Structures are given as C-alpha cells and as structure tokens.
Amino acid sequence: MKTIKNEKLALTVQLDGGAIWSLVDLEDGEELMFDGDASIWDKHDAVLFPFVGRQKDGYYEYNGVRYDVPIHGLAPYQKYEVKKQSESSITLGFSSNSETLKIYPFTFDFSITYTLEGKTLSVKYTIKNKGEQTMYYYVGSHPALKIDGAEQNADDTSGNYLDFCTENNSTYTLCNNFIMPPENIEGCVEMKKDVFVKYPSLVLDRKNTTTVLRRKSGKQVKIISSSPIICVWSDDKRGAFVAVECWWGLPDYWIDTKRELKTKNFINSLQPQKECEYEYKLEFINKQEIR
C-alpha cells in the first residue's frame, strides 16, 4: 500500500492491481469508498485495461488468432511499481511481458497517476505503444463510492440520487454482463436497490462531462470525464455503495458479437511508439460547501 494526502483528502492505493484502497475526507474523518465487504464485492475499486467487462465466451480474436482473456483484461491482476511519488501525487505502472503477451499481443507501458488537489482526486491513465503495429484496447475506471443507508436498515439506499445532468439518456441492459439493445431512462435516478434488480448495470452513452452523486446526507460527488461511456453498478441486495465508472470502451454485445479486436464497438487505437492519456476526476463537496 502507498498513501498520499493533502489538507483535505488522504488516498491509499494498492500495488497489487494499482487501484484505490481508501479515500478519507480529512475534514470529518469519513471513508468515502466502499469498505470492500467480500460477501458483496471484495474490492474498493479496479483498473480496467485493455478490456472493460467481459468478452463473450471469454475470448476475442486478433488477426484470426484466438486469445482467452479474464474480465477487464490485464490491469487488475498486475503488480505495479511506483514510478514517481510526492506528498499529494503518485504514479504507478507496469509493462507488457512474456505472460501478458499470451493474453494480449501488444508491447506497452501502462501507468496510473493519482493526484490530490483540494477536495478533488484526479486519476490519469497513460498508455504507450512500444511496438511496431497499431495497438487496440479499452480502458476504464471502477471506483465504488459510498452512499447513505437508512439508520435502521443499511440496505435501504433510497434518498441517494445520481444525476446525469442530461435528459433522454440511453442505457444498455446487461444480460449475463453483456450488452443488450438500449432503452431510455430518466436523467436523475434514485439509487434504490430495485433499480439494480432491473438493471444489473446502467451503461450509458455519456452526453455530459459531469455526473453528480447526491447523497442522502447532503454530501455530493461530481464525477468528471470526457469518456464516451459511463457505467453505474451496485449490489442489488446489500451494501451502501454505487460504482460510477468512466469507460473508454464496452463489454461484448450479447447479440451479433464482434470477435475481431479491431472491429469491436468503441475500440481505441494507438499508433506505434505513441502514447495517449485518459482522465477522470472525483470532486467531493460537503453539505456546508454546497451553494
């Protein structure tokens, strides 16, 4: 584990998987992330690369060759090195090797930079293509943010709202964790558990750079990113959290699945010896700060 902090927030990240372990509001001492209860989800966050979600039947093809791949690809399962660290910023990274090439046939450097500035955490993914061929990939986030349960029943998460700040939003239904045809949902959704019975995940084409989580306690979290997709997930029975995920990509479609990596929906490409950055921010606002 490695910890950074400023006067407002303290962040702890894991070297195994490179993800957020803890984020504490130093003004009131509150833990802002899910507690990682293993009976619900044994993580607080996850880093997604070079896939987001699952590939149908657990595999994809590249130039006609089959590659078996676990959920989210490589990033969640790697040991990261600290590349740079200051009091309020840290960069973690890993590189392709003989084992990753069995799953994903590209040579690359992948790094994550976490930076605290006031009550904002910025997370930046940097991908460098070290090979001599165009590289195809997805990348995404998976922070599980704390929401409020009723005092007598922690399973009651009514009174917490996620505002997409746009209307006529189109969400994809996930069937067995794969994308199905879209339908429209409201622009502001109450995070009741029955929402996640109907929609195991809400996967939307992003229309606005800012989504706002409004907690019952009065606290807010602004999730800010230019990612083309935003995914919202929570356990449908237990646990006071919601994962609000910025995705540059999608899981496989259940119908008319595209096997070839280069032709998949929302696929990103990176030319040889080039690098690209992807970023999201979490801005935390306490009740007394809201205007």
pLDDT in tens, 169-200: 767 766 666 777 677 778 899 999 888 888 87
* pTM for this prediction: 0.93
Give the list of residues 6+ apart from residue 113 with CB closer than 8 angstroms, or none: 84, 89, 90, 91, 122, 123, 124, 126
Give the integer Cα–Cα distance in Å for 45 and 275.
24
Q: Which two tokens stand for residue 76?
A: 């969640």
Q: CA triplet 72, 20, 44: central angle to 5 degrees?
A: 70
Domain at 2-289, CATH class: mainly beta
What value does the mean pLDDT of the chain take? 91
Convert the pLDDT of each residue in 198-227 to its tens digit: 887 888 888 889 999 999 999 999 999 999
Percent of the chain predicted with pLDDT > 70:
93
Domain residue spans of the chain: 2-289
DSSP 148: P
Q: Which two tokens stand for residue 59?
A: 């595999």
Convert the pLDDT of each residue in 151-161 to its tens digit: 556 678 889 99
**Residue the block writes with tokens 């293509």:** 129
Reference 200, options 243, 233, 155; nearest CA is: 233
